[in-house]
């Protein structure tokens, strides 16, 4: 079963850890075998989230910090 929220949390955590879009694609999206449409949607989410993270000041908290596991 596809759990979009779970994949988004994994993407957010990977971005918080400093992973690149290529690393996210290779380690999270490709192995999940979600199909082209869902994989593309999550790739776009990752790209946007990464761009937002790069635009934030260096020590600013992620707007999705509440979604990350404690």
Q: Is 70 part of any domain?
A: no
Q: Is 64 part of any domain?
A: no
Q: Is 66 part of any domain?
A: no
- Kindly give the confidence (pLDDT) of every residue in the chain, 70 residues in length, as a single tens digit, with 9 standing for 90 and above: 457 789 999 999 999 999 999 999 999 999 988 899 999 999 999 999 999 988 876 666 555 555 555 5
Query: Distance between CA atoms of 19 and 66, rounded to whole angstroms?
Result: 19
Which pTM value belongs to this model?
Answer: 0.73
Q: Is 67 part of any domain?
A: no
Q: Is 61 part of any domain?
A: no
Q: Could you give the number of structural domains in the chain? A: 1
Q: Is 25 part of any domain?
A: yes
Q: How many CB atoms lie within 10 A of CB 46?
A: 24
């Amino acid at each position: 079963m596809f759990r979009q929220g779970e994949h988004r949390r994994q993407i957010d955590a990977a971005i918080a850890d400093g992973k690149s879009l290529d690393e996210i694609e290779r380690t999270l999206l490709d192995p999940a075998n979600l199909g082209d449409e869902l994989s593309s949607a999550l790739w776009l989410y990752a790209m946007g989230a990464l761009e937002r993270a790069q635009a934030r000041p260096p020590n600013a908290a992620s707007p999705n910090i509440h979604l990350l596991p404690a």
